[in-house]
């Protein structure tokens, strides 16, 4: 039984629900895999600029701000930063997380820097491409 809501109220009628055919589901984009987070995990995280554009430019202000935001996120999240490298269009982090909070901490770190960079350059739109990729 299917219930249909209309302007005149709810109507119930017998009809089989319509599901996409098997071929339709094959063409649909796949959702990203679930990120496994647990206590004491070590992650290699990589994130890059949208369309591989630069996330830090030639001046030291960008790198200084990115490092300050990274330090703030590491302290707030309780992470242990084992290693990092910042390139012009992407960055790599090696983190140890005592609590399963990688996604929340990375979101805070990257959004804080992206908001600052957008305001500084008077630009709208995404700075980072998709989600971070822990490996």
Helix 102-121 vs helix 60-77: angle between axes, to the nearest 10 degrees? 150
Looking at residues 46-50, what average pLDDT do you find? 88
Looking at residues 6-29, what average pLDDT do you find? 58
Q: What is the CATH number of the domain that holds 107?
A: 3.30.70.1290
Inside any domain, residue 59: yes
What percent of the chain is predicted at pLDDT more than 70? 70
Inside any domain, residue 30: no
Inside any domain, residue 19: no
Inside any domain, residue 63: yes
Inside any domain, residue 73: yes
Count the domains in the chain.
1
User: Residue 105 has what pLDDT?
Assistant: 93
Question: For residue 127, what are the contacts with CB-CB under 8 A and spacing of at least 6?
Answer: 49, 50, 53, 55, 113, 114, 117, 118
User: Residue 126 has what pLDDT?
Assistant: 76
Burial class of 123 by CB neighbour count within 10 A (0 to 12, 13 to 18, 19+): exposed
**pLDDT for 67-81, tens place per residue?**
999 999 999 999 999
Question: What is the distance between the alpha carbons of residues 134 and 101, in angstroms, rounded to a whole number?
Answer: 13
Range of the domain at 91: 41-134
Please, what is the Cα angle at 68 between 50 and 41, to 5 degrees?
Answer: 75
User: Residue 125 has what pLDDT?
Assistant: 73
Inside any domain, residue 114: yes
Inside any domain, residue 130: yes
Inside any domain, residue 16: no
């Amino acid at each position: 039984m299917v219930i249909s809501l209309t302007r005149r109220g709810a109507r119930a009628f017998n009809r089989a629900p319509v599901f996409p055919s098997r071929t339709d589901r094959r063409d649909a984009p796949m959702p990203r895999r679930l990120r496994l987070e647990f206590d004491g995990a070590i992650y290699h995280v990589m994130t890059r600029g949208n369309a591989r554009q630069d996330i830090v430019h030639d001046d030291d202000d960008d790198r200084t701000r990115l490092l300050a935001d990274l330090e703030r996120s590491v302290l707030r999240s309780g992470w242990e930063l084992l290693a990092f490298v910042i390139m012009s269009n992407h960055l790599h982090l090696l983190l140890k997380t005592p609590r399963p909070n990688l996604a929340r901490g990375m979101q805070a770190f990257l959004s804080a820097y992206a908001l600052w960079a957008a305001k500084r350059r008077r630009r709208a739109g995404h700075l980072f491409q998709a989600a971070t990729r822990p490996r």
